Structure 1
Amino acid sequence: MRHSIRSFALPLLLAACALGAAPHAGAQGKDFKVALIAGKTGALETYARETESGFMLGLEYLTRGRMTINGRAIKVIVKDDQSKPDLGRTLLAEAYGDDRVDIAVGTTSSASALAMLPVAKEYKKILIIEPAVADAITGDKWNKYIFRTARSSMQDALAAASTLKSGSVGFLTQDYAFGRDAIKAGKEALIATGSKASVVHEEYAPLATTDFTASAQRLFDALKDKPQPRVLAIVWAGPSPMNKIAAMKPERYGIALAPGGNILPVMQTWKAHAGTEGTIYYYYGFPRNPMNDWLVAEHTKRYKTPPDMFTAGGMAAASAVVTALSKVPDGDGDKMAAAMEGMHFGTPKGAMVFRKEDHQAIQPMYHFRIKKDQKNEWDLLELVRDIPADEMPLPVRNKR
């Protein structure tokens, strides 16, 4: 798996880098304008900050620092939608109408991203979704101008389901759209992957809760007499409750915890749970390809930390933007939509492709184990295995 990704991605990346090689920025036409909309204010600001830094690093890498495509300068206009749907919709209309951008990328909140989809259709301009995960984005709310480099909730669920072959599962998540969407996908994914595991309980905790005693006990009671293996799957955005759940000793009931991947500062707090397994979209130490090697080295040099999962997502979005604008330099949305269907582009995870049917980026995921012997503060996970895209039967739901 790793060898095939590396060998396929390398010529893509070399070709992309060549886009920045022409001298005299702007000599061959006006600047390319790109809008990057993110929730830089509010609960998701960490995700937004990572997306922005990854996006700018991606443009730098792909253009060899020139920030040009075939001699035309790239101008990035960054907007903060504060994760508010109404503001996201307004800012995207402003970007297409007043700023006259060629292409837009965004946003952090799924609710805001969903509000932005009709604006792309109205203006007939491309919107690349990163990092919002709601399935409806490439499902019933989709239109032909929407492409997503981010993974979907269903891709997360299919990755997790691929590790659960039998036994009993209980879910803990947050009681809002993200959590309910994720658990719906999780149950469907078990069926889609042919798992024999049974879902015995779903627990939806209040979004701002800090006391998980009652929720955890209900899960323990539901799981404790069910067939082994017994798994309590935690699907959580933001600081994970795993440490608090683990403190209640689920192993008394033969229950193992299965966390979803999270950002590095959260996973740093999991050191006491060595051996616990889960699945993740990206961890800096897993992919082996030139783009990721550069990202890890450069991000560590500049920020003193490795890149995180949303940083990698921002870089993937930048690669899709550069590849699309090189194919359709006039920014025409209809021509670009046609060119981007089935389009391959390099990312820190290796090569991705926009599926023709719904424009979802098809990509691998990773099965991890928390390391026992951590050599430094960021040496957190070991790879159990790559989960290739063809093991995740992602359904098409856009009613095209």
Structure 2
Amino acid sequence: MSQSTQSNAIQSVRTQNFSRTGWFPIILVTLLLNSAWADSPRPIAVALLEDDTPVFRDYTEEQHLGFLLGLEYLTEGSMEWQGRPVSAHPVPAGGWFRDENYLPDAHELPDFSIWIAPVQARYAHRAMQYGQAYQRLTLVPASPANQLPVAQYDLAFRTFYRWQDVEAGLYEWASEQEDLIWVSAVDSSVRPDFFRVANIDVSPRSSGASVIAEVDDLARLMKNPALGSTWPVLLDWLPMLSDDVGLASQNMYFWLPDLASLVPLREFSGLQGLTYYYYDLPNNDANTWLVRTMLERHDRLPSHYVVAGMTAAMALLTAVAEADTVDAEQLAAHLPDMAWDSPRGVLSFTAAGETRQPLYRTELRLQRQLEWARPVELDGQGPYWTQP
């Protein structure tokens, strides 16, 4: 055998031996790394869908602030949950939000399995539609509109209150009065008992003065008239209802949607108010932490949109911990009947994607050191639970 042939033969043997033994450690390491990667929990990555239109921009920022605070609260600042890294990614609303005639492809949508819907109802609705079509779990923290059809979508869940629940809760409470005047919107989901309740329908074209005149006419026919209303405009006419119509504060029942609405009510101690949150109601650890953190970092109390965002974050992390997945469809299948803690107390989802939550019967009290009227839960009343 020539020296050249012998050299080639030796090289061939070495190559064969390496193919048998030399590649094995590399393949083994690769398989182990792939196995470890496959076994490691997938990160919790969330798209915060931003609405930058006037008015709703501020609400959206508040909601997303609350969501981030909720992540921080449950992860104790580590941004890691059950071994999974947690992150939230602001995503500006593009053409697929704004243009009703534009149908995006999947690659144009946020590439995260979990979406937080915008505050504005029509944008939240569109997010739910696309989320359902492309398998994104969509949480709706702050869109109380009556006609937002969460139940049509298996992957959509609303963590905020529904307006029809507010109406039902306030009406159930106010109708305990013998003589009730009920003021409601034309598209109200509550239909009063016309044999016992005098009903006044209002529309966007109704003026407060015209409604006051109708209330006055009806009140004159009643022995002890009471008034119930979810129409926010009527709060501006409380002085006239009190002074001219003669309704006592304790005989008026209103929805108290946020802290700002309590400022003009400071002079109406005794007014009956239904609310789903106040900064010291309910009294629980999550609410205490939220209030303290907002005061320390922002020198203000949390708005309802901040509370809504934090509630959504706590629902999501609870679901991930219990279902041990971030897959949209598996999470959606797990969410119905799941209970979770929130600044508003213990909540749970219905099969239709709505939230069972407490609404509190309160009475406004005057505290001179405050610039607003303080709602205090009435003893022995207990909360009104939505979506039984």
Structure 2 unpaired stretches of 5+:
1-38
Q: Please tell me whether residue 372 in structure 1 is matched to residue 376 in structure 2.
A: no
SS at match of 1:185: coil
1:185 is matched by which residue type in structure 2? S
Q: Once the two structures are superposed, what CA deviation does each residue of 1:377-398 show, in whole Å capped at 9, x if it has no partner?
A: 3663222258656x54637xxx
SS at match of 2:346: strand
Cα drift, residue 258 of structure 1: 2.9
Residue matched to 2:22: none
Q: Please tell me whether residue 200 in structure 1 is matched to residue 199 in structure 2.
A: yes
Residue matched to 1:259: 254
Q: Please tell me whether residue 394 in structure 1 is matched to residue 387 in structure 2.
A: yes
> Which segment drifts farther, 67-76 or 85-94?
85-94
Fraction of identical pairs, as percent: 20
Cα drift, residue 231 of structure 1: 0.2
After superposition, where does 1:131-280 map in structure 2 within 5 Å? 131-138=142-149, 142-164=152-174, 165-166=176-177, 167-171=179-183, 179-181=185-187, 184-187=188-191, 197-206=196-205, 212-226=208-222, 228-236=224-232, 241-243=234-236, 245-255=237-247, 256-280=251-275
Task: Give distance in 2, aligned partners of 1:87 and 1:158.
Answer: 33
Of 356, 377, 386, the match for 1:362: 356
Q: Once the two structures are superposed, what CA deviation does each residue of 1:311-351 show, in whole Å capped at 9, x if it has no partner?
A: 21111100111122334555322211111121111101221
Task: Give distance in 1, aligned partners of 2:215 and 2:240.
Answer: 12
1:53 is matched by which residue type in structure 2? L
Task: Give distance in 2, aligned partners of 1:219 and 1:96.
Answer: 56
Kept in 2, the 8 Å contact 1:268–1:380? The answer is no
> Which segment drifts farther, 375-384 or 48-57?
375-384
After superposition, where does 1:311-322 map in structure 2 within 5 Å? 311-322=306-317
Kept in 1, the 8 Å contact 2:266–2:371? The answer is no
The CA RMSD over aligned residues, in Å, is 3.3
Kept in 1, the 8 Å contact 2:48–2:90? The answer is yes
Cα drift, residue 34 of structure 1: 0.5
SS at match of 2:240: coil
1:100 is matched by which residue type in structure 2? D
Task: Give distance in 2, aligned partners of 1:89 and 1:72.
Answer: 37
Cα drift, residue 213 of structure 1: 2.2
1:291 is matched by which residue type in structure 2? A
After superposition, where does 1:288-327 map in structure 2 within 5 Å? 288-327=283-322
Kept in 2, the 8 Å contact 1:220–1:250? The answer is no
Residue matched to 2:120: 109
> Which segment drifts farther, 117-126 or 69-78?
69-78
Q: Once the two structures are superposed, what CA deviation does each residue of 1:71-121 show, in whole Å capped at 9, x if it has no partner?
A: 332221224559x99439899978985432121112212232223322122
Task: Give distance in 2, aligned partners of 1:72 and 1:90.
Answer: 38
Residue matched to 1:10: none
Task: Give distance in 1, aligned partners of 2:50 and 2:198.
Answer: 35
Cα drift, residue 261 of structure 1: 1.1
Task: Give distance in 2, aligned partners of 1:87 and 1:205.
Answer: 25
1:198 is matched by which residue type in structure 2? V
Task: Give distance in 2, aligned partners of 1:88 and 1:148.
Answer: 24
Task: Give distance in 2, aligned partners of 1:319 and 1:91.
Answer: 34
2:387 is matched by which residue type in structure 1? L
Task: Give distance in 2, aligned partners of 1:376 and 1:144.
Answer: 44
Distance 1:377 1:252, change over 3 A: closer
1:143 is matched by which residue type in structure 2? Y
Distance 1:89 1:311, change over 3 A: farther
TM-score relative to the length of structure 2: 0.77
Task: Give distance in 1, aligned partners of 2:98 and 2:254.
Answer: 33
Residue matched to 2:81: 69
Structure 1 unpaired stretches of 5+:
1-26, 173-178, 396-400
Kept in 1, the 8 Å contact 2:363–2:375? The answer is yes
Distance 1:227 1:150, change over 3 A: farther
Residue matched to 2:141: 130
SS at match of 1:293: helix
Aligned residues, how many?
Answer: 345
Distance 1:331 1:227, change over 3 A: farther
2:87 is matched by which residue type in structure 1? K
